[in-house]
Structure 1
Amino acid sequence: MAKKNKNRVTVIIPTYNSWTTLKECISSVQKQTLKPDEIIVVDNNSSDGTSKRVNQKFPSVKLVTLSINTGVTGGRNAGINKATESSDYLFFFDHDMVAEPNMLKELLLVAETDSTIGIVTPKIYYWGNKKRIWSAGTGINLWTGQILFRGGEDVGQYENIEEVQVAPAALLVKRKVIRKVKAFDNCYFATYEDTDFCFRVRKRGFKTFYAPKAVAYHKLSDNPIDDAERVLSRAYWVGRNRVIFMKRFGKSFPVFILFLPVFLSYYFYLAIKISKFNKWLDFIKGTIVGLLPSFISERNIPFSYIGVIRKAIGDDVETILDLGCGEGRLMEVLAVDEAWKVTGVDLYLPSINIANTTAKYTNLIKGDIEKVVKNLISERKKFDVVLCSQVIEHLSKEKGERLLGLLDKLATKRIVISTPRGYFEQIEESLGVNKHQEHLSQWWERDFGSRGYIVSGTGLRFLWSYSGLARSNFKLIASFFRLIAFILSPIVYYFPILSVNLIAIKNIQSDK
């Protein structure tokens, strides 16, 4: 019991439509000899009644219910945000796993032996074959991208406590590590999220260790056909995320590229083996999508919507106020590799909850934007940049003009506002369940120019309007006209009368 009082442990279990395995997972955690201080289940918008069942069967469990599926990474990050700050350890556990009663105790015994150990993972067996190891920690070849499995029939080959590269599916992480690396990277969604996390932790000076006396079971079949089915079910993510990981951590990306035909051939073999050729196409698509950022970074494309906003924010920035942050999707792209301290504000709670999973915000405030801005002014808060993207059109003209009059009191360097130019058609389906999505006002160049803003445009209007050809459901047609729109984007930037979106920038420093 003394051990429990000294080290507080929070268990985080993200789940999606897996009640049959989740209930045994939770029960096994509750039966630990070293009792966790809290268990958090993050429901990624399941449709099988998971949230209701968790509340009924496990009332002591802290339940977080998200309005969309944010993947393994988003689920874990939501758990991090809800975890008690006083927890010394966070244990991330997949929903299809079961723990032996001494698992947490044994993991902590190893973690406490060395201050440089940041992550500890257990020995994981297949549930249906408890003599066959699924993982004793894993590794990855940083030249080729090949996963190096440590598993197979248990003949005593993995009985030593030792350092490993990767802790898959079950990770005991010290709180001080979380404070350094912040969160799992949401760009992965699923697969390679553990690998990326462990390597980022390693860059921060911490080690990942394997604890052989800590035992868990993974409810996966060890049948080769079933394994092929499982791997191909996420072929897109495997193809995409392997490339992204190797771009970040590989020893030589060009060398890795040379090995891609090997992976393509292997996945073709698996697809033929189980008669699912479309899954091979998914793998190819994922690989291509993963490769594109190697050459094109969305926020660095000149004259694009995100590119213009990123340039407007500038490089001399530490703090940002993101008004109407929504689900945080824009900030998730803008803040890649940035150390910004971002405060997000939004009126819609489900959006705030999703933004919380991006790990890009140091603070999130739910409330009416105008009221929150006035409160921040009264508290004498200041931000280098105030960003208000696709928000002002959702306010009445009168309220929007009042908001514009307040922003100068919060920004110390610049204000960046984006909004549709004039009328932008909305159809009922696009509004969804968020009633705040409706456009209530129209904005033009003169509305910002008269207040000292420099106004530019993005998106050629007749191509990017709601019914524009760049939004065609026919991919070939859409791709062609998006290329045309990209070629013409410099003209649209300097002549916003042609644009679908206005981007207004006010440099506060020049006013002083």
Structure 2
Amino acid sequence: MKPKKRGVSTVIPSFNNSLKLFRLINSLKKTTYRPLEVIVVDNSSTEAMIKQGRKKFPWVKWVDAGRENVGQTGSYNLGFAHANPQNHILFCDEDVVVDPSMVSNLVKRAETKKNIGIVTPMILYLDDKEWVNQAGSEVNLLTGQVKIGWGPKEDFLEARKVQGSGTVMLFKRSVLDKIGGFEDWFLCYFDPEYCVRAQKAGFENWYEPKAICYHDQPKDDKLWRPRVLSRAYLLGKNRTLFMRKHGNVFVYTLFLPILLGYYLIEGIRFGIFSKWVEIVIGSIAGYFSPISKGNFIPLPSSHGLKNKMSGKTLSFIHTPSIDAFLSKFTLHIPFSYLWLYKHSLGDSNTILDVGCGDGLLMKRLSEGESWEITGIDIYQKGLSKAKKKKVYKELIKGDVVKVCSDLVRKKKKYESVFCSQVIEHINRKEGFELLAVMDKLASKRVVVATPRGFMNQPEVFIGGNPYQYHKSGWTIEDFKSRGFRVYGLGLKLSWSEKGLSRSNNNLVVILSVITSFILSPLVYYFPNLSAGVLCIRDK
């Protein structure tokens, strides 16, 4: 007895484009595959268009997504929820015309093997039916680059396994039952993410050339390349999200400057430099955005950015709320200062935090760890705040050189002795004494971070603490000559005393901070480029 034939539910998001939508529905009406369900998810279209659609196509299921723009992902997921729960799903953008046999050939390929989960057709240009717009695609899981099957039709006549695709795909019901719907990424990169997720769940994805559709998209790169950048912020953000979830985020971070360089050339070429700024901001935002929950982020406008960045530059970069938000995520971002600090401490169990201040830095570094931490600081208000953080086993008030010397006399030992942004607050004679006594206290390593060279402390960081003023400057050679390995922290061009991050021009500040972040791996290994140094002496 033959198994019952599964139906197909076609889900189409629509955003107020009746011409393309009605053209697609008319082509689906001619398809040879039955049973076929067609679901249109209306995403903020005019009432007149919906009324016209219901009258013209009463057999179509019309779903109202509400007045708020929920994006492609929200629309598709809503459509999936309204589909017949026994049917396969045809994912289909509205700017497509399908061949009458397309659905039949997609289903035929999908049912040749039980573990085939997703099938994509040969997608030709509507205006050039001999040229392939897409025959599967692949995101490089190391670099984030996208390669699309594109070229003469005769080059894509063989069925083959692919990583993924977009625009039109058939999802077998077993895929949705196992992995659910799309991540809530609004648009961009959600479709390759779904395909890779299906592969990880044990499914194969295939390209089927006998299934054909036509995409109403310009072939001329002078038209489609600017269109790619029209969604620059989400393109950058979601690519980073994709790489965090499925790729090698370390290699991707190293490669990101090259990708952004390519988009810079594109932005200049097409006179849309502002879109390059958006893609840079989006790429950085992707490191901080949640992968799976509540991920709708409105596109930034120049007006919105201006409002958010009003006031003094340093207060924008270093306000406690922003700093806390960024720190929570940067702890896991390769070559961020928190990531470097935490990795410098290695497998320590006991830590002496020399000049612990209010304890906020150590609280962030110690998240998820069972470290036994002792803190030292001379400023009582800072120690009182540190005590409330509940990360220290013991807190000692006093001059760091004298307290450390006293601990040496008591024969105390700590696996790691950590001293961040402290040594520049004492004179060089005391600084060398501090390095010597910290070395005696450490059983595994000493970690010191400080500005490279003398740098005046900005008034915004003094905060009524008389010990916050800088009294000395330190060189790479000062540490290397004492057996330290020296690495760079922060691009000097951005973070030095006269660096671009101190500019009164907010755009300059943003670009300099982004540039510093992108170049942080290079700066780390070439400390002569840095504003600060991270020095590690292993015992």
Q: How far is 1:222 from its partner?
A: 0.3
Unaligned 5+ segments in structure 2 are 297-304, 326-357, 359-539
Amino acid paired to 1:204: A
Name 1:263's counterpart in structure 2: 259
Q: How far is 1:265 from its partner?
A: 1.5
Q: Secondary structure at the match of 1:183?
A: coil
Query: Do the aligned partners of residues 62 and 5 (structure 1) sit closer, same or farther apart at CA in structure 2, a change above 3 Å counting?
Result: farther
Q: How far is 1:483 from its partner?
A: 2.6
Amino acid paired to 1:212: P
Q: How far is 1:99 from its partner?
A: 0.3
Q: Between the two proteins, what is the percent identity of the paired residues? A: 36
Q: Distance in 2 between matches of 1:94 and 1:143?
A: 28
Q: How far is 1:46 from its partner?
A: 2.0
Name 1:40's counterpart in structure 2: 39
Amino acid paired to 1:165: Q
Q: Distance in 2 between matches of 1:225 and 1:53?
A: 35
1:159 to 157, 167, 180: 157
Kept in 1: contact 2:7–2:34 (CA 8 A): no
2:238 to 241, 256, 261: 241
Name 1:170's counterpart in structure 2: 168
Name 2:83's counterpart in structure 1: 83
TM superposition score normalised by structure 1 = 0.58
Kept in 2: contact 1:163–1:209 (CA 8 A): yes
Name 2:15's counterpart in structure 1: 16
Amino acid paired to 1:37: L
Q: How far is 1:247 from its partner?
A: 1.1
Name 1:27's counterpart in structure 2: 26
Name 2:270's counterpart in structure 1: 274
Q: Distance in 1 between matches of 2:19 and 2:2?
A: 32
Name 1:332's counterpart in structure 2: 293
The one-character-per-residue Cα deviations of 1:221-252 (angstroms, maximum 9, x if unpaired) are 001111112111111111111111011111x2
The one-character-per-residue Cα deviations of 1:308-366 (angstroms, maximum 9, x if unpaired) are xxxxxxxxxxxxxxxxxxxxxxx934xx9xxxxxxxxxxxxxxxxxxxx9xxxxxxxxx
Q: What does 1:289-304 align with in structure 2 at a 5 Å threshold?
A: 289-293=285-289
Query: Do the aligned partners of residues 37 and 5 (structure 1) sit closer, same or farther apart at CA in structure 2, a change above 3 Å counting?
Result: farther
Name 2:108's counterpart in structure 1: 109
Tell whether 2:59 aligns with 1:223: no
Q: How far is 1:50 from its partner?
A: 3.3
The one-character-per-residue Cα deviations of 1:141-188 (angstroms, maximum 9, x if unpaired) are 11111101111122x2211121100021111111111011111001x2
Q: How far is 1:486 from its partner?
A: 6.8
Q: What does 1:104-503 align with in structure 2 at a 5 Å threshold?
A: 104-154=103-153, 156-186=154-184, 188-250=185-247, 252-293=248-289, 332-333=293-294, 473-477=307-311, 480=315, 483-485=319-321
Name 2:70's counterpart in structure 1: 70
Q: Distance in 1 between matches of 2:286 and 2:144?
A: 13
Amino acid paired to 1:236: Y
Kept in 2: contact 1:17–1:48 (CA 8 A): no
Name 2:99's counterpart in structure 1: 100
Q: Secondary structure at the match of 2:278?
A: helix
Unaligned 5+ segments in structure 1 are 299-330, 337-356, 358-470, 491-512
Amino acid paired to 1:72: Q
Q: How far is 1:257 from its partner?
A: 1.1
Q: Distance in 1 between matches of 2:241 and 2:211?
A: 31
Q: Secondary structure at the match of 1:157?
A: helix
RMSD: 2.9
The one-character-per-residue Cα deviations of 1:271-318 (angstroms, maximum 9, x if unpaired) are 12221111111111211111224xxx69xxxxxxxxxxxxxxxxxxxx
Q: How far is 1:5 from its partner?
A: 6.1
Q: Secondary structure at the match of 2:283?
A: helix
Q: How far is 1:51 from its partner?
A: 1.9
Q: Distance in 1 between matches of 2:192 and 2:2?
A: 30
Higher relative contact order (CA 8 A, sep 6+): 1
Q: Distance in 1 between matches of 2:167 and 2:249?
A: 27
Q: Secondary structure at the match of 2:141?
A: coil
Q: Distance in 2 between matches of 1:483 and 1:53?
A: 52
Kept in 1: contact 2:71–2:186 (CA 8 A): yes
Kept in 1: contact 2:27–2:97 (CA 8 A): yes
Q: Secondary structure at the match of 2:268?
A: helix
Q: Distance in 2 between matches of 1:100 and 1:55?
A: 23
Query: Do the aligned partners of residues 265 and 4 (structure 1) sit closer, same or farther apart at CA in structure 2, a change above 3 Å counting?
Result: farther
Which structure would you say has the larger Rg?
2
TM superposition score normalised by structure 2 = 0.55
Kept in 2: contact 1:163–1:208 (CA 8 A): yes
Q: Secondary structure at the match of 2:276?
A: helix
Q: How far is 1:36 from its partner?
A: 4.1
Name 1:377's counterpart in structure 2: none
Query: Do the aligned partners of residues 160 and 4 (structure 1) sit closer, same or farther apart at CA in structure 2, a change above 3 Å counting?
Result: farther
